[in-house]
Each structure stands twice: as C-alpha cells, then as structure tokens.
Amino acid sequence: MGRILFQGGRVFDGTGSDRAAGDVVVEDGLIVDVGTGLDGDEVVDCTGMTVLPGLFDCHVHVVMSGVDLLRAVQQPFSYQFYEAARNLRRTLQAGITTVRDAGGADLGIQRAVEDGLIPGPRMQISVNIISQTGGHGDDWMPSGQCAGPWIPHPGRPASIADGPDEMRRVARTLLRAGAEVLKVCTTGGVLSPGDDPRHSQFTPEELDVLVTEASMQGKYVMAHAQGAEGVKNAVRAGIRSVEHGIFLDDEAIELMLEHRTWLVPTLVAPLAVLRSVQAGAALPEEMVRKAEEVVQVHADSVRRAVEAGVRIAMGTDAGVGPHGENLEELALMRACGMTPAQVLAASTSSSAELLGWGDRLGRLAPGYRADLVLVEGDAYEFERLPGAIREVWRDGVRVVPMTR
C-alpha cells in the first residue's frame, strides 16, 4: 500500500492543542507525517472536515444490550455473542476505534476482531467483574436466583471473591483467561438490587492483594467506585482508574490528584437507565430510584474533579445504554466544565495513556497507529458530531464506510 494523503482539512492532533489546517500522511498502517504541503500516492479530500485521532471509549460492555432483566434471562446463552458483533460494529461506526471492555467480553470476542472475523474497535478486556458476595457484581436476587446480564462460562470464569486468598485465586483465574486489566467493585452500585452506591466493598487488604497480582503480571486494576470511601480505598491501593466517581468528596479528589488516578465518569449511564425504563425495560424499583438520585450529584462530583485537575478519560458504560451512541458523553463532559479541546483530548490521547497505549494511539503524530476519524464541519459541535462522521480509518484501512 502506498502513501495515503489526507489533505485539505483541519487537524486535531489529540494533545489538546486547538485545530489547525494541515495534512496527514499514512503508510503501512502508521502515520508518517503531519504538516502542510505534503504529498502521497492516494489522496483523501478532507476539505471542510476535521481530522481526529481514532476515539476511545474506556468503559463498555459489548455483550450487554440494555438493562432489561426480563429480556436478559429469556435470551439463549449464545445470543450475546451475536449481539456483541453488532455492538462492536455500531461502536466503530461512531468513530470509536479503541475500547476497554469493563466486563463480559472474553478472549474469543477480542480475537475475532483482531483476526478480522467481525468489524470492531481494538479491545482491551477485563473478562469479568470481581465482586464480593452480595456486592455490585453478585447477580443474586431476593428470589434466590441469579439474574445478571451474563453468566460464567469457560472463557469468562466466575469472579466472586471473599478474603485475600480468594481474591488472589480469582485474579489469577481472570489473568489466565486473557484479562489485560482487572475490574473490581469497591462500592455498591445503581444496577444491583441489594447494595448502596455509597457503601464500600472489599477491605484494603483484599484490594492490596489484587493490585499486587495484577502488577506482577504487568497489568493494572480499574475500580467500579461510586461512594467516596470506596474511591479512597481504591486510590490508596494503587488502582489506576476510578469508574463513575458519583459521590466524590474533597479528600477523594485530593487523593486522586496525589496518586494521579484517572477518573472515567460515564455521565450518560444513569440517564440511559432512566430512558430504558421509560421505554418499558423491566427493572426493580430500587434500581430506578437509585438512578434518579445520582444524576445530579454525579455531574456535580465530576465538575469538582475537573476543576481540581483530576485526569479524565472518556467512558460511557455502553451496554447499559445503546452501543453506537457513545459520543453523547462528550457534551456531558463539556457541561462539567471541560473545554471542547479538553473533551477531545480526554477521548483520544488521555484515554490512550490510561490504557497504557499512549506511545502508539490517541494522537496524530509520526510513528502512531493510523487511526483517523473524518468529521464534516466543526468537531467541537458535540451535539451534531454523531451525524457528522464521514469516514473512520483503523490501522490505515478505511473501516467506515465499510469496504468489501
């Protein structure tokens, strides 16, 4: 393949600098030059467009397609894998070229994308969610039955742990199954019937074991953490990212700054729950009540974290809401005080850094993977952005519109 020249557009390079007129040259899946007056063997006309790095979503569940529990228990076991293929395609069409799956996707789904069996963004996977008995990832219901969005199988081992020894065993089992990041619940959550998002789960000793096991294998830990005390426990243990962060207090924010912990807000998630219920989804009243209660306090917490300078990466909890609508999160991030350039940097270079891929993804710069999104008009107009994406390229290959 020769040199592909993306010519005549405005370039947002992913660093947070403002857009500037420029060209991008791609060859053999890599960006080889960014500047003006460049040449190439094939020209892609970007006149009137903004050229972005491929976007990230650092919190998705590709085997989940909504939060309707009645629907979930009625689906055949294998149906989730076909839905995952559809969800990955929709995510890619939204300009998301890289995702971190926060529970559910196994190694087979990741490899199917890597090997070109199904179209989708590149994936970093956690396989399953580590929960204590009665915690946010424990799908036990008052009936005595388990009714969660996915059940364990050979590629997705069970991940309930109580005590340091069980935590060590579960961590090693998930790493053996292909987990590149370990996901743990350090608080309750909205979509679990028997706990409170403000209450802590797992002891500091259990979390220390988990981080040690991940670190010994060159991996890191992400934490579903909504209540302030559970956030603090996660940060003190050395967990790399806090997911949601609904009830942050000043001490939690200060600790996150001190430890350089990332926040992945997922502001759209509770809104998606309420929309699903309005559309007829069957959820317990307790879950609906919690979703209603957290919307405003969630936004307030993220706003305070942004003002303090906490590092932010983009994530949506897609799967709770529809896949392919990921970019709704960007306007919500801007409403929490981030500038448009900061929002796009959080969705590109900052997310790449969080995932440990900051030296190869998230920027338009020589030597980086050639992931590009071509947006008609101004990419800072987030409300119109989903309908303005014209082309998506991954590793120097146009994947949207999809070629045959």
What is the Cα–Cα distance from 210 to 136, expressed in whole angstroms? 17
What is the Cα–Cα distance from 207 to 238, expressed in whole angstroms? 9
What is the Cα–Cα distance from 352 to 362, expressed in whole angstroms? 5
Q: Work out the angle at residue 346's Cα, subtended by the Cα atoms of residues 344 and 349, and round it to the nearest 5 degrees.
A: 90
> Is there a contact between 51 and 31 (Cβ–Cβ < 8 Å)?
no
Judged against a pLDDT cut of 70, whether residue 402 lies above it is answered with: no
Average confidence (pLDDT) over 93-119: 98
| pLDDT at residue 254 in the model | 98
| pLDDT at residue 404 in the model | 46
Judged against a pLDDT cut of 80, whether residue 99 lies above it is answered with: yes
* Averaged pLDDT of the chain: 95
Read off the pLDDT of residues 14-49 as tens digits, 9 standing for 90 and up. Answer: 999 999 999 999 999 999 999 999 999 999 999 999
Under 8 Å CB-to-CB from 275, ≥6 apart: which residues? Answer: 321
Average confidence (pLDDT) over 62-69: 90
| pLDDT at residue 243 in the model | 98
Among 262, 404, 326, 302, residue whose Cα is nearest residue 54: 326
What is the Cα–Cα distance from 236 to 2, expressed in whole angstroms? 50
Phi (first) and psi of residue 229, to 5 degrees: -65, -40
DSSP bridge partners of 265: none
| pLDDT at residue 1 in the model | 64
Judged against a pLDDT cut of 70, whether residue 377 lies above it is answered with: yes
Read off the pLDDT of residues 338-355 as tens digits, 9 standing for 90 and up. Answer: 999 999 999 999 999 999
For CATH 3.20.20.140, list the domain ranges present in the chain. Answer: 55-326
Under 8 Å CB-to-CB from 279, ≥6 apart: which residues? Answer: none
Q: Work out the angle at residue 252's Cα, subtended by the Cα atoms of residues 248 and 253, and round it to the nearest 5 degrees.
A: 85
What is the Cα–Cα distance from 402 to 24, expressed in whole angstroms? 21
For 351, the token pair is 């997310």
Read off the pLDDT of residues 129-159 as tens digits, 9 standing for 90 and up. Answer: 999 999 998 887 777 777 777 889 999 999 9
Judged against a pLDDT cut of 80, whether residue 120 lies above it is answered with: yes
Cα dihedral angle (106, 107, 108, 114), rounded to 10 degrees? 120
Tokens 């991008």 label which residue?
Answer: 24
Helices vs. strands in the chain: H and E counts, helices first? 12, 17
- For domain 55-326, the CATH architecture is Alpha-Beta Barrel (3.20)
Give percent of the chain with pLDDT exceeding 90.
87
Give percent of the chain with pLDDT exceeding 70.
99
More confident residue, 277 or 112: 112
Average confidence (pLDDT) over 376-387: 97
For CATH 2.30.40.10, list the domain ranges present in the chain. Answer: 4-53+362-400
- For domain 4-53+362-400, the CATH architecture is Roll (2.30)
Read off the pLDDT of residues 151-161 as tens digits, 9 standing for 90 and up. Answer: 899 999 999 99
Burial class (CB in 10 A: 0-12, 13-18, 19+), 17: exposed
Judged against a pLDDT cut of 60, whether residue 403 lies above it is answered with: no
**Side chain identity at 282, as an amino acid letter?**
A
